């Protein structure tokens, strides 16, 4: 929410900034050049660690579901898919995934809210206690 508010407040300054550079531009504008650089490095590290985690998770998924016999093959397939997608750039990936995400996000948010509502109001606490 905070990032949305900051972007809305500074929307005039963000016109013409490419989508893939918005966070770095905002951080340099708000924090200054030195702290903006530190923020840009932290964004880079966050993206890098997320990509590593997603790569491992998908390779594990392929291996555990017996799609491939060896973990090295699952990792190779995952990295090949990642490499091909990285060549599309942000604009290409957004073009491909946007129609899917327009349908999936509202469904996922609805599932999350229903589950949260169910746990908050209809969760039986007596069944949850184990070994008491």
Q: Is the pTM of this model over 0.85?
A: no
The two tokens of residue 48 are 């890098």
What pLDDT shows up at residue 58?
A: 96
What pLDDT shows up at residue 122?
A: 78
HSE toward the beta carbon, residue 111, CA cutoff 13 A: 6
DSSP reduced 3-state for 14: coil
Q: Which positions ≥6 away from 71 have C-beta within 8 Å?
A: 59, 63
What pLDDT shows up at residue 124?
A: 66
DSSP reduced 3-state for 28: helix
What pLDDT shows up at residue 121?
A: 85
Mean pLDDT by 10 residues, the chain (132 residues): 87 90 92 92 94 96 94 96 92 92 95 91 64 53
Alpha-helix residue ranges (DSSP H) falling in 32-88: 33-64, 71-86
What pLDDT shows up at residue 82?
A: 93
Dihedral sign from CA coordinates of 117, 118, 119, 120: positive
CB 55 within 8 A of CB 75: yes
Residue 20 is classified by DSSP as G
């Amino acid at each position: 929410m905070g990032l949305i508010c900051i972007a809305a407040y500074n929307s005039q300054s963000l016109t013409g900034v490419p989508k893939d550079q918005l966070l770095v531009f905002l951080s340099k504008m708000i924090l200054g050049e030195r702290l903006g650089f530190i923020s840009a490095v932290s964004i880079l590290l966050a993206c890098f660690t997320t990509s590593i985690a997603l790569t491992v998770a998908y390779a594990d998924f392929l291996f555990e579901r017996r799609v491939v016999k060896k973990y090295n093959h699952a990792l190779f397939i995952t990295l090949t898919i990642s490499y091909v997608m990285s060549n599309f750039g942000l604009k290409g990936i957004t073009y491909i995934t946007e129609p899917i995400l327009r349908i999936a996000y509202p469904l996922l948010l609805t599932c999350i809210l229903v589950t949260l509502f169910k746990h908050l109001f209809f969760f039986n606490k007596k069944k949850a206690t184990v070994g008491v």
